[in-house]
Amino acid sequence: VWAWRIFPRGHRVRTASIFSMVFMITEALVGAGLVLFELVADNASSARAVWISVHLVNTFILLACISLTAWWSSGGSPVKISWSKLDVWLLLLGLIGVLILGMSGALTALGDTLFPVNSIEEGIRQDFSPAAHFLVRLRILHPTLAILVAAYLIIVVNWINSRNKRRLNRKIGWVLISLFVLQLLGGLVNVLLLAPVWMQMVHLLLSDSVWICLVLYAAESMTREEITHEEDQGSDLSERAELGNL
């Protein structure tokens, strides 16, 4: 409501706020569906796994809409998607990769909750047992995807940062890489502690932070504002001055 009161018709903040409201409603509906169809507690069905994944995707889209609403209302530049640019496709692939990673993480957390283990050795035996539940056998998928997606994003962010001279864009990129490394460490701690609920919550918080940062990085990388050669030189000079002061 406030976005509609303070921004003019057609403004990007209005659009983002509309999508935020839409996905907030669908978030509530998916959550209600999980309860109404009893896909909770000890339910280990494939239906619960599917709807848990849908819930995670909806949550991530909702977070993206809210983040962009805040970003653009704080002065973030409008986005211009040029499908002919390689950067756009690389970032789109990264966004999809993190979405899939989040879905696998939701399934892993469900498996850890429904089928707890008393030791890492017991967990490994369960992971590779043909008689184990499909949620247990899927647990090995999540850390594998995490390493692959992390490596991909590190390469992509470094490549884009080497070509994009906007300081804000590069700063967000380095924060994104730092958060992803921290997330990997959090995942390792989660495994070593045998996935207690409190650590799963910390792990989820870190994954949300990575997603938000990636969304903002993509938005800033695809901004309509193009820096000139003079601005590029000025940025380099200011950075050298800061290094000198340090």
> Does pLDDT of 224 surpass 90?
no
Give the helix ranges, DSSP H, for the chain: 2-6, 12-36, 46-73, 86-114, 120-127, 134-137, 141-163, 167-192, 197-221, 229-245
Q: CA-to-CA distance for 99 and 93, rounded, in angstroms?
A: 10
- Percent of the chain residues past pLDDT 90, beyond the cut: 80
C-alpha span between 86 and 218 (Å, rounded) = 13
Mean pLDDT rounded to a whole number for the chain: 90
**Range in 11-15, 25-29, 30-34, 224-228 the model is least confident about:** 224-228
| Interval 113-146: pLDDT, tens | 999 999 999 999 988 898 899 999 999 999 999 9
117: Cβ contacts below 8 Å, ≥ 6 apart: 123, 126, 194
Would the pLDDT of 2 be above 50?
Answer: yes
DSSP-derived 3-state class of residue 140: helix
Task: Give the pLDDT confidence of 167-189 residue by residue, as tens digits.
Answer: 899 999 999 999 999 999 999 99
Q: Taking each helix axis from N to C terminus, what angle separates 141-163 and 86-114, rounded to the nearest 10 degrees?
A: 160
Grade residue 165 by pLDDT with cuts at 50, 70 and 90: confident
* Whole-angstrom distance, CA of residue 246 vs CA of residue 241: 9
Confidence category of residue 223, pLDDT binned at 50, 70, 90: confident
With tokens 């983040």, the residue in question is 67
pLDDT at 166 over 90: no
Cβ atoms < 10 Å from Cβ of 118: 8
Percent of the chain with pLDDT over 70: 91
* Three-class SS state of 83: coil
Tokens 């502690």 locate to: 193
Backbone angles phi, psi at 164, to 5 degrees: -100, 115
Is residue 16 pLDDT above 90, yes or no? Answer: yes
Token output for 101 = 């990673």
Q: Which of 183, 196, 93, 94 is nearest to 143 (CA)?
A: 183
Residue 68: per-residue pLDDT: 97
Q: Are 183 and 244 in contact (CB under 8 A)?
A: no
The DSSP secondary-structure symbol of 42 reads T
Confidence category of residue 77, pLDDT binned at 50, 70, 90:
confident
CA distance 193 to 130: 25
Task: Give φ, ψ of 226 to 5 degrees.
Answer: -105, 125
pLDDT tens for each residue of 192-208 = 999 999 999 999 999 99
Amino acid at 103: M
- Is the pLDDT at 246 greater than 90, yes or no? no
Q: What is the pLDDT of residue 233?
A: 43
Task: Give 142-157 pLDDT, tens digit per residue.
Answer: 999 999 999 999 999 9
Mean pLDDT across 34-63:
96
Cα separations in angstroms, 63 against 20, 32, 148, 208: 8, 19, 23, 8
